[in-house]
Structure 1
Amino acid sequence: MNVRSVIDPAIPPAVAGGAARYDPPEPLERRRLQCYLAQMLGDILAIFAGFCLAGYLYLGNRGLDQALNLAQLLLPVYLTLALYNAAYSLSGLQSASRGAQRALLSLAIAAAGVVFVAFYTKSSAEFSRVLFTGGTMFSAVIMVWMRVQMAAVVRWRCGERVTNELIIYDGGPRLDWPGAFHADARALNLSPALDDPAALNRIGAVLHGIDRVAVSCTPSRRAAWAMILKGANIDGEVLDDSVAQLGAHGARITAGHGVLRVSIGPLGLRARAAKRLFDVVLAGGGLVVLSPLMLLVTLAIVLEDGAPVLFIQRRVGRANRFIQVYKFRSMRAARSDDAGDQSASRDDERLTRVGRFIRRTSIDELPQLINVIEGKMSLVGPRPHALGSQAGDKLFWEVDQRYWQRHALKPGLTGLAQVRGLRGATDEESDLADRLGADLEYLNGWSLWRDMRIIAATLRVLVHDRAF
């Protein structure tokens, strides 16, 4: 079988084998190196051009000599930082904006470093601060422009993709890597035979010029393929769907055993601190501002149905631990549903007149500001559910086992699902599925600005036709 016959890289082979052809592509390492050098040359020209422009505009021809001296002073510091900051890297070739960001960061740090050293050596008086500041700013603008122009050079030298990627099919499922080459192991007579040098030579010929390879094979052949890829001097991967089933975030070897990392906290320490400070400030202020309204609601509940005023229910909180959630009591004291086995309906006879109003306007949720102050809840997060809550005739976690993942953060007074109108009774399993999807989306994309937007959006849905 001639391994240098041709296949269109956009068309995967028939995995069943027989008709696949493959032609190893030209290696791109040398072309990538040429692009790195072109980017570096562009940055050097940008710095000299920027300082010369600033010098000429500020002092005319007299400023050119000083501008060149400053550029020569800044340049080695910049190049050192840019190399360490991956301004000349594969990711910088793949994305001009990413490369420009790293180059600008390196330039800013280099400029700050030069100013710092000049200040402590008392040599800052020897050059113009205006010229140095202007030169740095002009250099930054020209550098970004040069990086954008270099994107065309990268495409000319390396094509649309700056790496050669290959998928080898050896009995496994199809992979969708845009732009990747495909090779059928059976058609090319490729076998991970560790005791056959000729077989290893054929695999080596196929991998010539490849930067990254993935092997889609049967479980029994994964270990052999992994052993071969380790000796191929290549970025190699073996398909294993158990990683997807477990939702693994990474892998490592410890004490001679392989370990898959299947969970990580959605927020780091600084993010948790910012979210907590945000909660305390807004919840504390909310309790002060809304205290007259809460007193009126308390009086109305007592006058219509007596005590107690609060309905306290055990629900599932962060890390799947039970918490006590406070609400204004909206149902008759004798008919309250502590377990949450029955969701409230539009014409629920258990509701009091006050209860119907405070549920329709979401006022019944205001005591949960106390839960927020206690640290058991957050202003924004997945809503806490009662243990007996059902979608259709199934408990929530029986509908989708991913349900437990939503408790990676503190439950919220409001959430992404609520502002999308996904609230009220869960008569069908799809009602829960929609909410769960929104909750998991929130976990995967948290930011303080998003919390602010959700709170602002909540103000528009306080009165809702599904709030009963």
Structure 2
Amino acid sequence: MIIAAAITADVTSFEVVGFAQSPKLAYVVLPTYLVAAWSLGAYHLPTLRSATNSIKSCLASLAAATGFSLLAAHAFNVIGNFLSQETLLFLGLTAIGLTVLHCGIAAGLRRREDQTEAKVVLLGDDSVRSNRQRKVAATINVRACDWHPVETDPNFLNDLSLAVADADRIVLSFKAFKEQLKWAKLLGELGFETELLEPGLAGLKPLALRYLDSTPTLVVSTGPLTLHKRAFKRTFDLLLVLLAAPVMVPLVAVLTVLVRADSPGPAFFVQKRIGTNNRYFNCIKFRTMRVDLTDTAGNHLTERNDPRITRLGHFLRHTSLDELPQLWNVFLGQMSLVGPRPHALGASAEGALYWEVVPDYWHRHAMKPGLTGLAQIRGYRGPTEKRCDIESRVAADLEYIHSWSPWLDVKILFRTMRVLVHSNAF
């Protein structure tokens, strides 16, 4: 689709194929797109089944590939070659083509799944009837058939093979685990794909099977992001921080001098907060309070016209500039640009600590804390005077964790610009 878009843009612009800019850019975009799409899982079956997720993933990959290509062109001082109407046409055609393609793939996969339903045969002992499921096409009681898992009777093997010949899935259910293993071994040697029914594991909802040396283990939980997604998010954070550094470093230097000049004490305030997987980290901010009245643990949340806040501190808090040093936390990998905001350990709502108010509070630390987040762009800022204040924030944080995507991060960053100055920021 990328190559077709490049050729179409070339022909439309009445250029000679091979000498126009679109094919040149396509040579860089194509491999970069494939790497980004692989990292984001754009072509994994679960993603392809959903048109929305599939389109978001492929367009995010295209955006990442385009950004990398233009950065590379800028680094080699050939950026002017690609800044043309033909390039915009090429990118537009690629985006439209990928969208149409992924919509078609999602529709085709759904249609195929609707038309084909796996035939399941449940094979077991006298207890097999009680385990019968709605999707089971046939149930075979080996006791009633007088079958035994041995390879000494060709008639038995023939009857067994005919009984399960049309099955897409063969599921074994026996009270005795040793007998179940014997049947599994026999069916495996006969060339059948076999599964073991384990109702006792239903509560754990196993995700995958792995091995510790030669011993099998069940994966019963994973983090919210795969390794590839974490790597993509980390690369995105570092890229933006480094691009912003030429502007942010001088700004931080100026504000550091102003904070020191405004009131006695250090320019930065370092506070222990809860980070990824509930590990502590030192969160850095500009000091906005008088040193003698600083609340290190965060037991007393700020309020309007708080006497502890310095003159410059009011301005820094109102404009959210006091959070600027946390870009260093992002650079160190302790925080992300987007994620659940880290809270002070002593923060409370209606006299109760946050985790006492919301039982699921600890779940919000499954991802790195962020400079901004879904809760912040929805206006959930300022002191938590009521229990509903922290409940709304935690709900937004968990929603972000469960629905993360590169597009969501970009959307939150852009919308954060609108809430940097907030009436509840004091």
TM-score (norm 2): 0.54
Residue in structure 2 matching 1:412, options 370, 373, 381: 370
Matched, 1:164 2:125: no
Question: Using the alignment, how far apart are the partners of 1:417 and 1:296 within structure 2?
Answer: 30
Shift in Å at residue 329 of structure 1?
Answer: 1.9
Matched, 1:211 2:168: yes
What 5-or-longer segments of structure 2 have no aligned partner? 1-44, 52-96, 150-155
For residues 348-363 of structure 1, the aligned pairs below 5 Å read 348-363=306-321
Q: Check whether the contact 1:417–1:438 (CA below 8 A) recurs between aligned residues.
A: no
Q: What is the one-letter code of the residue matched to 2:225?
A: P
Matched, 1:396 2:350: no
Q: What SS is found at the alignment partner of 2:209? A: strand
Partner of 1:81: none
Deviation track 1:392-423 (CA, whole Å, cap 9, x = no partner) reads: 6244388446725734x443222333334344
> Does the C-alpha gap of structure 1 residues 384 and 196 become closer, same or farther in structure 2, counting only changes over 3 Å?
farther
Deviation track 1:139-164 (CA, whole Å, cap 9, x = no partner) reads: x9xxx9xx99x969x87xx9723433
Question: Using the alignment, how far apart are the partners of 1:96 and 1:460 within structure 2?
Answer: 31
Partner of 1:327: 285
Q: What is the one-letter code of the residue matched to 1:359?
A: R
Matched, 1:236 2:177: no
Question: Using the alignment, how far apart are the partners of 1:96 and 1:439 within structure 2?
Answer: 19
What 5-or-longer segments of structure 1 have no aligned partner? 1-90, 98-139
Q: Which has the higher contact order (CA 8 A, sep 6+)?
A: 1
Q: Check whether the contact 2:364–2:397 (CA below 8 A) recurs between aligned residues.
A: no
Q: Check whether the contact 1:276–1:378 (CA below 8 A) recurs between aligned residues.
A: yes
Question: Using the alignment, how far apart are the partners of 1:414 and 1:276 within structure 2?
Answer: 15
Question: Using the alignment, how far apart are the partners of 2:253 and 2:160 within structure 1?
Answer: 77
Question: Using the alignment, how far apart are the partners of 2:217 and 2:314 within structure 1?
Answer: 53
Question: Using the alignment, how far apart are the partners of 1:360 and 1:221 within structure 2?
Answer: 68
Question: Using the alignment, how far apart are the partners of 1:326 and 1:340 within structure 2?
Answer: 14
Shift in Å at residue 430 of structure 1?
Answer: 2.2
Q: Check whether the contact 1:327–1:364 (CA below 8 A) recurs between aligned residues.
A: yes
Matched, 1:263 2:222: yes
> Does the C-alpha gap of structure 1 residues 239 and 340 become closer, same or farther in structure 2, counting only changes over 3 Å?
farther
Deviation track 1:211-264 (CA, whole Å, cap 9, x = no partner) reads: 23678x99x77886676566563453535464654x643123445644223335
Q: What is the one-letter code of the residue matched to 2:297?
A: A
Partner of 2:135: 181
Partner of 1:430: 391
> Does the C-alpha gap of structure 1 residues 402 and 196 become closer, same or farther in structure 2, counting only changes over 3 Å?
farther
> Does the C-alpha gap of structure 1 residues 163 and 267 become closer, same or farther in structure 2, counting only changes over 3 Å?
closer
Q: Check whether the contact 1:166–1:181 (CA below 8 A) recurs between aligned residues.
A: no
From the CA coordinates, give the structure whose radius of gyration is larger.
1
Q: Check whether the contact 2:288–2:314 (CA below 8 A) recurs between aligned residues.
A: yes
> Does the C-alpha gap of structure 1 residues 277 and 163 become closer, same or farther in structure 2, counting only changes over 3 Å?
closer
> Does the C-alpha gap of structure 1 residues 259 and 390 become closer, same or farther in structure 2, counting only changes over 3 Å?
farther
Q: What is the one-letter code of the residue matched to 2:374?
A: L
Q: Check whether the contact 2:364–2:398 (CA below 8 A) recurs between aligned residues.
A: no
Partner of 1:252: 210
Number of residue pairs matched? 308
> Does the C-alpha gap of structure 1 residues 251 and 294 become closer, same or farther in structure 2, counting only changes over 3 Å?
same
> Does the C-alpha gap of structure 1 residues 272 and 234 become closer, same or farther in structure 2, counting only changes over 3 Å?
closer
Q: What SS is found at the alignment partner of 2:371? A: strand
> Does the C-alpha gap of structure 1 residues 181 and 423 become closer, same or farther in structure 2, counting only changes over 3 Å?
same
Q: What SS is found at the alignment partner of 2:195? A: strand
For residues 43-442 of structure 1, the aligned pairs below 5 Å read 160-165=115-120, 181=135, 197=147, 209-212=166-169, 233-234=192-193, 236=195, 238=197, 240=199, 242=201, 245=204, 248-254=206-212, 257-261=215-219, 262-263=221-222, 266-268=225-227, 275-290=233-248, 293-294=251-252, 297-298=255-256, 301-302=259-260, 304-346=262-304, 348-390=306-348, 393-396=352-355, 399-400=358-359, 403=362, 406-407=365-366, 409-426=367-384, 427-428=386-387, 430-441=391-402
